[in-house]
Amino acid sequence: MQDEQSYLPWEEFEFDGIYGLLYYTQVVPGHDGRLVFGYVKDKSCVFMQGRFHLYEGYSLCQVTFPVRVFKLMGVETIIVTNASGGLCQDFKVGDIMVIKDHINLPGFAGQHPLCGPNDERFGIRFPCMSDAYNKVLRKLALDISMELGYSNFVREGVYCMVSGPNFETIAEARMLHVLGSDSVGMSTVPEVTVAKHCGLHVLGLSLITNKVSLDYSREEKVNHEEVLQISKMRAEMLQKVLTTFIAHSHQVEDINSN
Ligand SMILES: O=P(O)(O)O[C@H]1O[C@H](CO)[C@@H](O)[C@H]1O
Ligand SMILES: Nc1nc2[nH]cnc2c(=O)[nH]1
C-alpha cells in the first residue's frame, strides 16, 4: 500500500501480457481490493482482485454492486473464482471445481441480493436460476483443462454458500454434504445470482483449498492461512486456465445453447 502523501487510488501496470489500470479498495486478507482494467490477448477485461463479503458487514446489494456496474459497462460474460472447502470425498486439496450449480443457503433465510423492489432495467422479478452456470462455458473450461494436461485436478460440482465467517461444524458439514453440496464457501452465489438476473453469461471456478471434516475423529483444523497458502500454490495453474479460456472464448459458437 502506498503512503498517504503519494497515495493515488489507481496506478498503471503491465504484467505477463496484461496491461491496464489498478483501482484500490479495502477488503479481507488475500483479497487485494483492486479493480484491474486491461487486456488478455486482444480481449478487453475487467478483473476484481478481491471481492466484498457478507461476513465483512457489507449488504448483499453492496457485495453485488460491481456486477451491475460491469453490466452497464457492456460486459457480457463473467468468470467468478473462489476458494472453498471440499465436501465431496473424491476431491483433493488443490483441485479446481468447475461450478455446475449452487445452493444459496443465505437466500433461504432471506439474505438475498434481489430482495426489495425489482429494478426492471436489469432483469425480471422472478429470474430462472436452473441454468445459472452456462453449459457451453463449462464445457470449454473442461476441454481447456484437459488440453493443458490438468484433467486430473479439474472436477465439476455444486458449490454451497454459507454466510461465514466461521468455518463449518462437523454436523453442519454433514448436513451440507447430504443436501448435495460438493464444496462450501462464503461468497460467489450473490454475484452469480445478480449476474444471471441481468443476463450475463457465467462461468464459476472454485479452488478446493481444504477438505471439510465430516468425521469427529479427524484432527486437522481448517484455517484461513491454509486457504491462502493453497490459493498461492495453485495461482499459476488457475491463471493459465483463465487466460487460455479468455483467449479461446471466440470458439464459443452458440453461447445461448445453454
Ligand atoms: O470465497 P472466497 O472469497 O474466495 O474465499 C473463501 O475463503 C475465505 C475463508 O478462508 C472466505 O472468504 C471464503 O469465502
Ligand atoms: N465455509 C467455508 N469457506 C471456505 N473457504 C475455503 N475453505 C472453506 C471452508 O472449508 N468452509
pLDDT tens for each residue of 94-145: 999 999 999 999 999 999 999 999 999 999 999 999 999 999 999 999 999 9
Ligand 2 site-directed mutation target among 210, 220, 225, 226, most atoms within 8 Å of CB: 210
Residue 222 lies in a domain: yes
Cα–ligand 1 centroid distance for 186 (angstroms): 6
Task: Using DSSP bridges, classify how beta strands 96-104 and 77-86 pair: parallel, antiparallel or unpaired.
Answer: unpaired
Banded model confidence at residue 231, pLDDT cuts 50, 70, 90: confident
Q: 201 C-alpha to center of ligand 2: Å?
A: 25
Residues 6+ apart with CB under 8 A from 31: 49, 50, 51
Question: 161 CA distance to ligand 2 centroid (A)?
Answer: 9
Cα–Cα distance measured from residue 101 to residue 130, given in angstroms and rounded to the nearest whole number:
8
Does residue 152 sit within a domain?
A: yes
Query: At a CB cut-off of 8 Å and minimum separation 6, what does 228 contact?
Result: 29, 30
Mean pLDDT of all residues belonging to the chain: 88
- Whether 109 is in a domain gets the answer yes
Identify whether 11 is part of a domain: no
In a domain, 236, yes or no: yes
pLDDT digits (tens, 9 = 90+) for 38-85: 888 888 899 998 888 999 889 999 999 999 999 999 999 999 999 999
**Does residue 52 belong to any structural domain of this protein?**
no
The boundaries of the domain holding residue 165 are 77-251
pTM of the model: 0.87
CATH number of the CATH domain containing 189: 3.40.50.1580
In a domain, residue 67? The reply is no
Residue 60 lies in a domain: no
Q: How far is CA 198 from CA 114, 150, 185, in A?
A: 11, 32, 23
For residues 82 and 102, is the Cβ–Cβ distance under 8 A?
Answer: no
ipTM over 0.95: yes
pLDDT-derived band of residue 233, with 50, 70 and 90 as boundaries? confident
Q: How many domains does one find in the chain?
A: 1
Cell of 134: 452456462
Distance (Å, rounded) from C-alpha 67 to C-alpha 73? 10
